[in-house]
């Protein structure tokens, strides 16, 4: 099964990369862009009995390793 | 079955960059047609990049021996004795084409590749230097190329933990579509631990160590041997991605395993990966190998033998171990988390037998592919030096000298490069005595009192004006950069970046440059111990200016006594060593201030260069030098200003000369050095210079806060150091940050 | 008595040899490496988590190293009051492991930065600064891409209240100044300690500024302070 | 409107980060994980007339700035 785990800096947490990208996009002429948040994404191939247990494993990985709960939120999606 | 003999169509041969003539030679070597795997192997090994088929005959001219040379060209890197049973190992290489396609990965894997050359010799790498050559910053993609290359070097070098302690950065329109990324690495090893890449001992196991093989950069070696065009840039061959983390583990594993005696020979997989590493090891040892390619660790399914042999996946090594010791070797790598697999064995007969899934997929003799590879004696036309008889160039439209100095300090070639060097970890390993920003970096050698000075140099405009003389200047400048620290220049490495050698005038530049380097190395007693040739640096018919980059390593007996390149103390006397002539041709002043590139390359007296080097080493070891900085781009005025930066000092100079002030200030005559000495030392210093026949004069003193230069008593320019320093320090940073 | 210093080596540590050298040559300690898969710290008086790129720093700096077997021992050792010094990547590992407060984000300038900085001693409540007067300005290099220390405002207030900010970046004059902080750290924080004071993390590299030949001996003052405190404690 | 732009290393291209994470997950006991690819994700807030034009703007940004076409693929999704 395939999971997509998305890790994004929490609202209110400094995101220097997102800020820099937003202003670079502005300079490139994308003036309709107001805000960018930059995060990480992980595509994980995993053996699992069903979607629910795959999702749970993904959430556990995110909690222990992939995201830092102090500054980041995560989302887990079963892609296929 | 795909291992049938190929049908040598035009398209197939041209894809493999083989000529009809070369194909006939393959047929006669084998007595049959090759299969596709064999064809790929011929193509890689006979590429210019691997075989040096055009350059080899000329490179023979280099002086490569000397009492201190422990290993000259021919191994992964050269080695020079530095006493205390230690040797310094160094080499320079190019990663030009890959960096133009993908600057981050291209530059990163350039660092990775040259570091492997150092640690396969058994040496722990201690420093990296990065000579870079770009088009003007406003050229298409250039801004992101500069950014990407610097990030790539930083990303790889910092992670693996080897300090990047110096380099050079030169901008010229001829690099706009063909940037040059050269990287030099330096390592230190005990004499008795120097390892070589000579396979031996039939029955000895051959191990594959490092990252798994993917389909990265297949045909990389033939790409580097081909003229670039926009069409190819679009085809985008699979780019090699570097993994500095794995390289760090491979490095530690290799150095650990080489502490023991289980290893017979070791070689990294560089261009043409498994092919060149195994064939070259066999060629050096006069043996052969039988390899089972099914045993090569792979990253993805379905990789063919052809791809396995030609992949340029990074961070891989080949090791020949003593029979029965393979497990010992593999277990060291396993401890470091690195794959190590036995993939075959050494055989007595000098042949390469490759098996895959039980089938013989290639059976080739070694010598015809390596030491007896084709050698070309292509026609060449020696260049005619620019500038009629060194005639004085007119300086019509010249601004006042202060304006000119400010423009020079702001020019991309002269301005400070801290924006680059601060992205590199130059202090890791705790041995950096002098980091970037000086003529040469200085590293201490732990466990001794010694130091190593490392520098790179080339002035491509000089080389363009006169390839022979310009190349000699590069050797002299790199050596002088070391000597101003007090270090005795030991030896030279080079990276010869040129255009398409199939054009006689380009090959002529190459030949002249090799001769120029040879002459300078003989005069300075600095043999060439390693190097690299990068040809075909040409895009859409436009060639780069010839760029023979030179790297020099020098030895300081007492690293504590390393001489700084900037003034240290108010009241010191300033001494100019060397003669200033009317030599504005091919200079930074002409290019930057007047927008012209013309005139003759400055002359060079190699005996005088040797005398200046000897004098500097003598004065430094007698602790007579408070500071010393050699004069290069922009001449005396630029060097005088630079020597004031950092400490809030200034300088007050009065030049006694017959030259017009502008020429006295900005001529690029070499070799020259601006030194500061304690008042009271002048008699001894001038006497030492006289004994060695080096023109020397006290030209002023170190003062607070302002740079003032007069010629024959008449003020030429005066400005606060802070103003000049702000221009110099800010120009490049601002150009990179504003876009 | 000779001090025993254990330098932890993670795959990708690259200042481990520098730290060992500083421990031996500057502190006069008996120093050894402890491989990340070991659990025995070898009865140290001090554990150093060195700089580098543990596990390539591929996820977040320090995130993967935190799960190394040796870290269980380090955590237990720290909880017993053992002295732990995290330098650069070591600081990041300590934050990830929860031994020190805050996180180290990417530098505000989004680039790796290697340069000399000045840091001011703000707290003497650690053995590393006990013998270095508060307000002392020390010169040493930084070299990192992710040294932007951040914490929730209440966490910072709490740290201040308990004198846990040990170093701040300052300008040449010794005061906090624009441009002095190389990475955007909140409140110019360069190093923090735990409440008890036995665990210290900092981004700058004292081990690269511990000998005159390297241009600064200021880093050696931290090591000397540790040696004095530990000797005092033992006496 | 909100876009999510996901940038992932191309198939066949070495992904050192993904590789290191996969083995870290293995060590943590997630032995059912075979492979991880690690990429970047950008959440972009943008003014746009409709979803289609937002998506197009996102693709253009990815091509010019966010992704490196030599080694990365990207996907654009309109989140809301
Ligand atoms: N690409 C670079 N990487 C690291 N250091 C650099 C780079 N470019 C320039 N520098 C540093 O800037 C200083 C000035 O360079 P350069 O002008 O080439 O030296 P020189 O004064 O000997 O001619 C040197 O110390 C050099 O190491
Ligand atoms: Mg110089």
The arithmetic mean of pLDDT across residues C199-207, rounded, is 98
Please state, rounded to an integer, the average pLDDT across all residues of chain D: 93
Q: Hey, are the CB atoms on C103 and A70 less than 8 Å from each other?
A: yes
pLDDT of residue C2: 82
C207 given a catalytic annotation: yes
Specify the DSSP class assigned to residue B347. E
Residue C18 has pLDDT above 90, yes or no: yes
- Which pTM value belongs to this model? 0.95
Helices and strands, number each (H, E), in chain D: 2, 3
B397 CB-near residues (< 8 Å, 6+ apart): B594
Specify the residue with its C-alpha closest to ligand 1, atom 20: B439
With beta carbons less than 8 A apart as the criterion, state whether B591 and B459 touch: no
Mean pLDDT of chain B: 94
Across residues A16-37, what is the average pLDDT? Answer: 91
Give the contacts of A80 (CB within 8 A, at least 6 positions apart).
Answer: A1, A2
Tell which wins on pLDDT, D79 or B550: B550
Ligand nearest to the Cα of B484, by number: 2
Q: How confident is the model at residue B540 (pLDDT cuts 50, 70, 90)?
A: confident
Q: Which of B421, B455, B485, B550 to mutate to test the pocket of ligand 1 (most atoms within 8 A of CB)?
A: B421
**Cα D60 to averaged position of ligand 2 atoms, centre (Å):** 45
ipTM (interface predicted TM) = 0.95
> Which 35-64 residues of chain A touch chain D by CB within 8 A?
35-48, 57, 60-61, 64
Q: What is the mean pLDDT of residues C155-176?
A: 96
Length of chain A: 80
Say whether residue B239 is in contact with chain D using an 8 A CB cutoff: yes
- pLDDT bracket for residue B2 (50, 70, 90): low
- Residue B233 — pLDDT band, cuts 50, 70, 90? very low
Residues 6+ apart with CB under 8 A from B718: B402, B706, B707, B708, B709
Residue positions counted in chain D: 80
Three-class DSSP category at C112: coil
* Mean pLDDT score of chain C: 95
Give me the mean pLDDT over the B225-237 stretch. Answer: 47
- The H-assigned helical ranges of B48-119 are 48-51, 56-59, 96-101, 103-119
Residues of C in contact with D21 (CB under 8 A): 58-59, 64
- How far is the CA of B131 from the CAs of B160, B455, B550, in angstroms? 19, 10, 9
Predicted local confidence at residue B698, as pLDDT = 98
Tell me the per-residue pLDDT of B499-516, one tens digit each, with 9 for 90 and over.
999 999 999 999 999 999
Ligand 1 atom nearest to B426, measured from its CA: 4
Residue B202 pLDDT exceeds 50:
yes
pLDDT tops 60 at residue B558: yes
B234 pLDDT higher than 50: no
- The share of chain D scoring above pLDDT 90, in percent, equals 85
Contact check, Cβ <8 Å, B428/C58: no
Q: Which CATH architecture has domain C4-234?
A: 3-Layer(aba) Sandwich (3.40)
Phi, psi for residue B71 in degrees, rounded to 5: -150, 120
State which H helix or E strand residue B253 sits in.
helix B244-257
**Omega of the bond leading into B671 within 30 degrees of 0 (cis):** yes
The alpha-carbon gap from D79 to the nearest alpha carbon of chain B, in Å, equals 31
pLDDT for residue C102: 95
Catalytic residue among C88, C95, C96, C122: C88
B470 with B519: CB under 8 angstroms? no
Q: What CA–CA distance (Å, rounded) separates D5 from D67?
A: 9
Record the tokens describing residue B705, joined without a space.
């806060």
Mean pLDDT calculated for residue range B467-480: 98
Tell me, in angstroms, the distance from the centre of ligand 2 to residue B84's CA: 29
Contacts of C107 in chain A (CB under 8 A): 16
CA distance C56 to B244: 7
pLDDT at residue B222 in the model: 52
Burial profile A59-68: b = 16 or more Cβ within 10 angstroms, e = fewer: bebbebbbbb
> Which structural domains are found in chain A, ordered by start?
2-79 (3.30.1280.10)
C95 is catalytic: no
Cβ B167 under 6 angstroms from ligand 1:
yes
Instruction: Tell me what the mean pLDDT of segment B13-31 comes to.
Output: 93
Residue D69 has pLDDT above 90, yes or no: no
pLDDT band for position C1 (cuts 50, 70, 90): low
Interface test with C, best of B430, B433, B435, B436 (most C CBs within 10 A): B430
Dihedral in degrees, nearest 10, Cα atoms C122, C125, C130, C132? 0
Euclidean distance between CA atoms B27 and B7, whole angstroms: 12
CB pairs under 8 A between C and D: 21
What's the pLDDT tens digit per position in D42-65? 999 999 999 999 999 999 999 999
- Are C25 and C1 within 8 A, CB to CB? no
Q: How far apart are CA B239 and CA B538, in angstroms?
A: 20
CA distance A3 to chain C (A): 17
| Whole-angstrom distance, CA of residue B301 vs CA of residue C221 | 56
CA nearest neighbour of C81 among C47, C49, C54? C47
The DSSP-derived string for B616-627 is: HHHHHHTT--SE
DSSP code string of C201-217: EESS-GGGSSBGGGTB-
Q: Is B117 in contact with B78 (CB distance < 8 Å)?
A: no
pLDDT > 90? residue B189: yes
For B376-403, how does the pLDDT look when each residue is reduced to its tens digit (9 = 90+)?
A: 999 999 999 998 777 899 999 999 999 9
State the nearest Cα–Cα gap between A69 and chain D, in angstroms.
17
pLDDT-based confidence at residue B739 (cuts at 50, 70, 90): low
Contact B417 CB / ligand 1 (< 6 Å): yes
Question: With contact defined as beta carbons under 8 Å apart, do B410 and B421 qualify?
Answer: no
Average pLDDT over every residue of B521-530: 98
pLDDT of B651 above 80: yes
Helix B20-30, helix B36-45: angle, nearest 10: 120
pLDDT over threshold 90, residue B217: no
The C-alpha angle B325, B328, B331, rounded to 5 degrees, equals 145
Provide the residue ranges of all domains of chain C, joining segments of one domain with +.
4-234
Residue D19 to chain A, least CA–CA distance (Å): 11
- Whether residue D17 lies within 8 A of chain C, CB to CB, comes out as yes
Which residues pair with residue B443 across a beta bridge? B432, B452
Nearest-angstrom CA–CA distance, B359 and B602: 63
Taking an 8 Å cut-off on Cβ atoms, the answer to whether B158 and C55 are in contact is no
Q: Given this model, what pLDDT does residue B236 score?
A: 39
Residue range B48-99, pLDDT digits in tens: 889 899 999 999 999 999 999 999 998 899 999 999 999 999 999 999 999 9
The answer on pLDDT for C105 being more than 90 is yes
Q: Give chains near C: 3+ CB pairs under 8 A.
A: A, B, D
Find out whether B536 and B550 touch, Cβ atoms under 8 Å. no
Question: Does B277 score more than 50 pLDDT?
Answer: yes
> Which residues on neighbouring strands pair with residue B186, listed in sequence order?
B90, B127
C30 is catalytic: no
Nearest-ligand number for the alpha carbon of B408: 1
Beta strand residue intervals within B656-694, DSSP E: 673-677
How much is the pLDDT for A42?
97
- The pLDDT confidence band at residue A12, using thresholds 50, 70 and 90, is confident
Chain C residues touching residue D27 (CB < 8 angstroms) = 67
Ligand minimally distant from the alpha carbon of residue B168: 1
């Amino acid at each position: 099964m395939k999971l997509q785990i998305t890790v994004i800096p929490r609202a209110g947490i400094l995101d220097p990369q997102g800020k820099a990208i937003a202003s670079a996009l502005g300079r490139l002429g994308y003036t309709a862009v107001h805000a960018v948040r930059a995060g990480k994404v992980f595509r994980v191939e995993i053996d699992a009995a069903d979607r629910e247990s795959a999702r749970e494993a993904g959430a556990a990985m995110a909690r222990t390793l992939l995201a830092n709960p102090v500054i980041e939120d995560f989302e887990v999606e079963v892609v296929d | 079955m795909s291992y049938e003999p190929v049908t040598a169509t035009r398209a197939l041969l041209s894809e493999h960059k083989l000529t009809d003539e070369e194909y006939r030679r393959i047929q006669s070597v084998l007595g049959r047609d090759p299969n596709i795997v064999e064809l790929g192997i011929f193509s890689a090994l006979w590429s210019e990049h691997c075989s040096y088929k055009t350059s080899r005959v000329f490179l023979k001219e280099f002086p490569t021996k000397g009492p201190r040379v422990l290993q000259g060209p021919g191994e992964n890197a050269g080695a020079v004795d530095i006493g205390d049973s230690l040797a310094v190992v160094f080499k320079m290489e190019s990663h030009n084409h890959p960096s133009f396609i993908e600057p981050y990965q291209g530059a990163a894997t350039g660092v990775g590749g040259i570091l492997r050359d150092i640690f396969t010799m058994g040496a722990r790498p201690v420093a990296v230097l990065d000579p870079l050559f770009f088009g003007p910053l406003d050229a298409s993609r250039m801004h992101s190329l500069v950014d990407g290359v610097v990030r790539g070097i930083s990303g790889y070098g910092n992670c693996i933990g080897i300090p990047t302690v110096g380099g050079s950065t030169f901008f010229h329109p001829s690099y706009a579509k063909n940037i040059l990324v050269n990287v030099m690495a330096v390592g230190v090893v005990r004499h008795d631990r120097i390892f070589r890449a000579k396979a031996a001992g039939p029955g000895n196991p051959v191990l594959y160590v490092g990252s798994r093989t993917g389909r990265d950069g297949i045909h990389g070696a033939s790409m580097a041997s081909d003229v670039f065009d926009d069409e190819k840039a679009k085809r985008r061959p699979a780019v090699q991605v570097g993994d500095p983390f794995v390289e760090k583990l491979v490095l530690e594993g290799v150095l650990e395993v080489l502490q023991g005696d289980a290893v017979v020979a070791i070689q990294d997989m560089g261009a043409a990966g498994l092919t060149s590493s195994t064939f070259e090891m066999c060629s050096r040892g006069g043996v052969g190998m039988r390899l089972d390619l099914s045993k090569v660790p792979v990253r993805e399914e379905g990789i063919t033998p052809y791809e396995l042999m030609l992949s340029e996946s990074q961070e891989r090594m080949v090791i020949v171990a003593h029979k029965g010791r393979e497990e010992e070797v593999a277990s060291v790598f396993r401890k470091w988390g690195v794959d190590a697999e036995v993939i075959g064995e050494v055989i007595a007969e000098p042949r390469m037998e490759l098996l895959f899934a039980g089938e013989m997929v290639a059976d080739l003799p070694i010598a015809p592919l390596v030491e007896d590879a084709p050698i070309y004696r292509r026609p060449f036309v020696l260049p005619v030096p620019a500038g009629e008889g060194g005639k004085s160039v007119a300086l019509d439209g010249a601004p006042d000298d202060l304006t000119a100095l400010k423009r020079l300090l702001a020019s991309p070639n002269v301005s400070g490069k801290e924006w680059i060097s601060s992205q590199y970890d130059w202090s890791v390993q705790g041995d950096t005595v002098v980091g970037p920003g000086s003529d040469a970096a200085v590293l201490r050698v732990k466990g001794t009192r010694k130091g190593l000075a490392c520098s790179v140099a080339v002035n491509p405009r000089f080389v363009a004006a006169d390839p022979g003389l310009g190349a000699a200047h590069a050797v002299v400048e790199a050596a002088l950069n070391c000597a101003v620290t007090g270090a005795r220049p030991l030896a030279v490495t080079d990276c010869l970046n040129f255009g398409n050698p199939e054009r006689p005038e380009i090959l002529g530049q190459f030949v002249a440059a090799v001769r120029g380097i040879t002459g300078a190395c003989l005069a300075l007693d600095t043999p060439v111990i390693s190097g690299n040739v990068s040809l075909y640096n040409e895009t859409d018919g436009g060639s780069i200016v010839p760029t023979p980059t030179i790297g020099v390593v020098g030895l300081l007996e007492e690293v504590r006594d390393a001489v700084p390149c900037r003034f240290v103390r108010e009241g010191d006397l300033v001494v100019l060593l060397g003669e200033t002539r009317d030599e504005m041709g091919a200079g930074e002043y002409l290019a930057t201030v007047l927008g012209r590139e013309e005139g003759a390359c400055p002359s060079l007296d190699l005996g005088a260069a040797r005398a200046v080097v000897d004098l500097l080493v003598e004065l430094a070891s007698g602790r007579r030098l408070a500071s010393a900085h050699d004069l290069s781009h922009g001449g005396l005025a630029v060097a005088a200003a630079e020597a004031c930066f950092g400490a809030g000092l200034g300088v007050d100079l009065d030049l006694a000369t017959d030259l017009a002030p502008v020429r006295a200030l900005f001529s690029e005559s070499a070799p020259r050095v601006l030194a500061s000495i304690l008042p009271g030392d002048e008699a001894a210093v001038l006497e030492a210079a006289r004994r060695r026949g080096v023109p020397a004069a006290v030209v002023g003193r170190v003062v607070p806060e302002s740079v003032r230069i007069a010629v024959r008593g008449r003020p030429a320019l005066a400005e606060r150091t802070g103003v000049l320093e702000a221009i110099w320090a800010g120009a490049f940073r601002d150009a990179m940050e504003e876009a | 008595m000779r001090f025993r210093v254990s330098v932890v080596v993670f795959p990708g540590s690259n200042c481990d040899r520098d730290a060992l050298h500083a421990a031996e040559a500057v502190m006069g300690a008996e120093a050894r490496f402890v491989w990340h898969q070991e659990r025995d710290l070898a009865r140290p008086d001090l554990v150093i988590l060195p700089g580098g790129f543990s596990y390539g720093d591929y996820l977040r700096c320090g995130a993967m190293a935190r799960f190394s077997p040796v870290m269980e021992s380090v955590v237990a050792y720290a909880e017993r009051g053992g002295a732990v010094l995290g330098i650069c990547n070591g600081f990041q590992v300590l934050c990830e492991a929860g031994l020190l407060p805050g996180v180290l984000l990417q530098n505000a300038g989004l680039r790796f930065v290697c340069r000399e900085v000045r840091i001011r001693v703000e707290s003497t409540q650690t053995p590393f600064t006990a013998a270095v007067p508060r307000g002392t300005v020390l010169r040493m290099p930084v070299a990192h891409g992710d040294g932007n220390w951040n914490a929730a405002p209440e966490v910072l207030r709490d740290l201040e209240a308990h004198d846990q900010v040990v170093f701040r970046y300052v300008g040449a004059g010794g005061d906090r100044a624009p441009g002095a902080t190389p990475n955007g750290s909140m409140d110019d924080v360069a190093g923090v300690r735990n409440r008890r004071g036995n665990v210290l993390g900092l981004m700058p590299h004292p081990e690269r500024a511990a000998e005159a030949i390297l241009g600064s001996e200021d880093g050696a003052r931290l090591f000397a302070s540790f040696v004095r405190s530990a000797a005092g404690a033992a006496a």
